[in-house]
Amino acid sequence: MEVIYSLIPGMIFFGLVFVGILIWAIKRGQYEDLEGDCNRILMDDDDNQKREPGEREKRVGLNFPDDD
């Protein structure tokens, strides 16, 4: 029974810390764009990357291992 007297204040302390972290994350804007991440993962960024002059296009399975 004595252990409860130390566990309850400890859990209240950790609960307040986690609520503080949640409020901090909300104020920093971590939850503003929930749809952007799920749409961004579906986009293919390989087409948008620009190559340096003289750099060859890398094709999967066709390049010599040292060229990668």
Local structure of 55: helix, strand or coil: coil
Question: Nearest 5°: phi and psi at 59?
Answer: -120, 135
Distance, first Cα to last Cα, the chain: 64
Contacts of 67 (CB under 8 A, 6+ apart): 56, 58
Query: Tens digit of pLDDT for each residue in 22-64?
Result: 999 999 988 887 777 777 777 766 555 566 666 666 555 555 5
d(CA 1, CA 11): 16
Q: What is the pLDDT of residue 28?
A: 92
Q: How far apart are CA 38 and CA 42, in angstroms?
A: 7
Does the model's pTM come out above 0.85? no
